[in-house]
Every structure is written in structure tokens, then in C-alpha cells.
Amino acid sequence: MVSPALTVMIGADTYPPDVNGAAQFGHRLALAMRDRGHEVHVVAANPENGSSVRRVIEDGITEHRLRSHKVPTHEYLRICSPWEIWREVGRILDEVKPDVVHLQCHLVVGRVLAAQAVRRGIRVVATNHMMPENLAPFLPVPHAAQGAIAKGLWWDMGRVLRKVQVVTTPTPIAVQAMHDSGVFKRDAIAVSNGIEIGDYELQDHESIEKNPDQLSIYFVGRLAVEKNIDVLLRAFALLPAELSHAVLEIAGDGEQRDKLAALADELGISDRVRFLGYVSDEELRAGYLRADVFCQPGTAELQSLVTLEALSASLPVVLADALALPHLVREGENGYLFEPGNARDLAEKLASILLLDDEGRQQMGKASKALVAPHRAENTWQIFESLYVSNLHYNKALAEVHDRRKAHG
């Protein structure tokens, strides 16, 4: 921990009880900074109707929940109106006087918090968890216009974040995607979301109940369009006859659940597909530990925390060859990449792992565990602490980014 302890304010457009990667990371960050001795405040949308509220929860974390409105195209997301929260955010900053503001998104809460903090000379660190593809399904625009919308979103992000001191994103590939947008002009560095690796290890005294006559494919995430779970269902239906004892477990819920359940029925696999819905942390962990392979078919992943969890649980993985997922696979060692959207290719890659004997899958699982080691959460928290007080780490990391670009022309 840096000394002395800091007052850290985390700004989030999505935060628990929302269930998504950005919300969960913001929550983990708040808990970690609290546990490292810092005073932590969270500014986020009120998950309920009504005025802005302040409450102290989880042994000292103070939440400032801002007046918000339900997003009509999403089951749980809520959005704040900038003109409704502008003065309230200023009041919160004046009252708390944070040493640093750490934004988790630039859309509304992040936008207002950044502007108000910069006005007051408060240091601002911003982490981008968003890709335009994450928003596209919820925007009332025709498909043909989404390319222009994506470009506009990148430009807007750059406009909001140009005055902050530090911009990070979870992976080098995400850094490159921001650069390649052509309109996001601000330099960013990669800081992993981090993972508590030991949380997903089978303990010596522990056993997981598992059907010895059954093989399990595991998916974890929101049941949303960009996760491409329909491709996974079609691939599962294409598995060879000798894998008829395999099951597909899908942990998570979302707006696509009914459509996916109908597709499973149409494909004749509904008796072997288990929609688990939202699961507790304990149930989530048990799912990893009883699975034989993990699959992530999503194509808009800036890092994929659930894939890091699967690697930590020593699982072979099959991931879409898209955005940040390829850096989590060493082809043939801990798993495989498949062509995004290609159900037949995915089926072949899943079968190649499921048809291995137990020892073969365990060897791939060991390779997964070795690959996840650099993503230890302790490293992430230390880096962010250093960024809260100084640009030294940021400048060094930027120099490395620029050197890599020069080396690749």
C-alpha cells in the first residue's frame, strides 16, 4: 500500500447489483482498496427509483447513489441524466475531497465526475471497459449505421478522457483497438483486471461432486447478443455421436434467455443444456471445478474475467479468435481458438478436448494455470495504487507501447 492512505473515489456507470464484467471489477477494486487501508467512496447510479442517496456498506465503503432512470432496452441497466446529477456530483466531491478519482466508464457518471474533478484539480485515472459492440444491441439504430455510431463512440470517449491524467484498459490488444479506432487520440496502457488465482483452486480437503459418466462444457456470462451463445448451442449440437454424454452448462441470465432456450429445443439438445441462471459465487466456482472445458464465444471482450477464472481453475479453454481473447490461449497447449461465428469450427475444437483422456485434459489445465499467473490481482492493485499518486509507471508503460508500435512498423 502507498503511504499515507488515500481517499479513493470510484466512478461507475454500472455497479452491483448490475451483473457484468465492468460492474464486478469496480466492486472488486473498491473492496481491494478498502482492504489495503484506503478510504473508499463509490459514485454510481441508484438501482432504484427515487432521489440520490448516500449509504455506508461493506465495512466502510461509502456509496453515493445518484438519481437514475431505467434503460428501456435492457433488463436492469439504469442511466443518470447529466443535468440532474451535475450539482450533486460537485457537492460529493467538495464534501469528500478525494485524493484521486478512478473512472470505470466515460458515458454519464464518468463524464460528469471527470469534468467536475478536473475543475477542482483532483487527479483522475480512467479505465476503459467498453467496446462499441457492447452498446450496439441496445441502441435504436439500424445495423447499417452501427459503424458510424462506433466511430462516434470512440471520438466521444477521447473527448471525455483527454483531460484526465491516466487512461488504462485491461489488455494490450484493447490498447491497440483504441489506437486503431482512428479517432481515439489519447494514449492508454494495459493494466489487467486481475484475478485472485487461489480462489479457484481445489483445496486438499475439498471434493467436487461430478458425474463420472458425463463431460461438461461451461459458459459464464450475460445472455446477450454479443456473447454469441447461439453459436455455442449450434456447435454443441454438432458434436460427434461419441460425445452424446456431454452436457452444456450456461451460468448467467439476460435478455436472450428465452430465444436461446427456444433454439436449444429446436436443435434437439434441450435435455443436455442446463440454463443455470444467476448463480452465487460458490455455485460459480463449483461449476468451474466440475467442468471439463470452458468456452467463451463472445467477440467484444476487452479481457474476459470469467476466462481468467476458468484458467485459474485449471480448465482447458476454447475461445473466439477475437479482440482480447487470443492472448489467453496457447494453441494446443491450454486450448484452442475458433473462427468467430463458425459453429462447425467451434464444435471441432470442443471435441478435440473432450475426446482426450483425463490426463490429457489435466495437462492442458496445468498450462492454463501457468498462463494466468501474470494476472494476479495483487499486481493490479499495486499498479493502480502507484497510478493514483504518480505518472512514473504510466510514462514507462507508454514508452513500452510506443516501442512496440515502432517495432511493428
In this predicted model, what pLDDT tens digit does every residue of 96-130 receive, in sequence order? 999 999 999 898 999 999 999 999 999 999 999 88
Q: Determine the Cα–Cα distance for residues 251 and 383; give it in Å rounded to an integer.
A: 31
| The three three-digit cell numbers of residue 110, written as one number | 464518468
Phi-psi region of 66 (alpha: psi -120 to 50; beta: other; left: phi over 0): beta
Q: How many residues does the chain have?
A: 409
Contact 250, 276 (CB under 8 A): yes
In this predicted model, what pLDDT tens digit does every residue of 44-97 receive, in sequence order? 999 988 888 888 876 789 999 999 998 876 677 788 899 999 999 999 999 999
Name the DSSP letter for residue 186.
S
Name the DSSP letter for residue 243.
G
CA distances to 15, 247, 344, 353 from 280, rounded to whole Å, are 17, 20, 32, 28
| Backbone φ and ψ of 265, nearest 5° | -65, -45
The mean-pLDDT minimum among 141-145, 171-175, 313-317 falls in 141-145
The contacts of residue 8 (CB under 8 Å, 6+ apart) are: 33, 38, 39, 40, 41, 98, 99, 100, 102, 388
| Backbone φ and ψ of 119, nearest 5° | -55, -35
Q: Three-class SS of residue 112?
A: helix
| The three three-digit cell numbers of residue 274, written as one number | 442446463
Domains assigned to the chain? 7-194+376-407 (3.40.50.2000), 199-374 (3.40.50.2000)
Q: Three-class SS of residue 295?
A: strand
Give per-residue burial for 101-118: e unless 16+ CB within 10 Å, then b.
bbbbbbbbbbbbbbbbbe
Q: Determine the Cα–Cα distance for residues 203 and 11; give it in Å rounded to an integer.
A: 36
CA-closest candidate to residue 40, choices 8, 74, 87:
8
Instruction: State yes or no: pLDDT of 137 exceeds 60.
Output: no
CA-closest candidate to residue 248, choices 211, 294, 202:
294
- Give 140's pLDDT tier (boundaries 50, 70, 90): low
Q: Determine the Cα–Cα distance for residues 312 and 248; give it in Å rounded to an integer.
A: 20
- Give 252's pLDDT tier (boundaries 50, 70, 90): very high
pTM for this prediction: 0.80
Q: Determine the Cα–Cα distance for residues 67 and 48; give it in Å rounded to an integer.
A: 8
Provide the CB-side half-sphere exposure for 373 (13 A, CA).
5
In this predicted model, what pLDDT tens digit does every residue of 187-224 receive, in sequence order? 899 999 998 888 888 777 777 778 888 999 999 998 98
| The three three-digit cell numbers of residue 358, written as one number | 483425463
Sheet holding 246-251, edge to edge: 273-277, 246-251, 215-220, 293-296, 317-320, 335-338
Q: Determine the Cα–Cα distance for residues 218 and 346; give it in Å rounded to an integer.
A: 14
Number of DSSP helices (H) and strands (E) in the chain, helices first: 14, 16
Q: Determine the Cα–Cα distance for residues 197 and 338; give it in Å rounded to an integer.
A: 26
The contacts of residue 387 (CB under 8 Å, 6+ apart) are: 125, 166, 168, 191, 393, 394
Mean pLDDT computed over every residue of the chain: 90
What is residue 66's predicted lDDT score, i.e. its pLDDT?
95
- What percent of the chain has a predicted confidence (pLDDT) above 90? 61
| The three three-digit cell numbers of residue 409, written as one number | 512498423
Integer-rounded Cα Rg, in Å, for the chain is 22
Q: Determine the Cα–Cα distance for residues 191 and 166; give it in Å rounded to an integer.
A: 11
In this predicted model, what pLDDT tens digit does every residue of 8-48 receive, in sequence order? 999 999 999 987 888 989 999 999 999 999 999 999 999 98
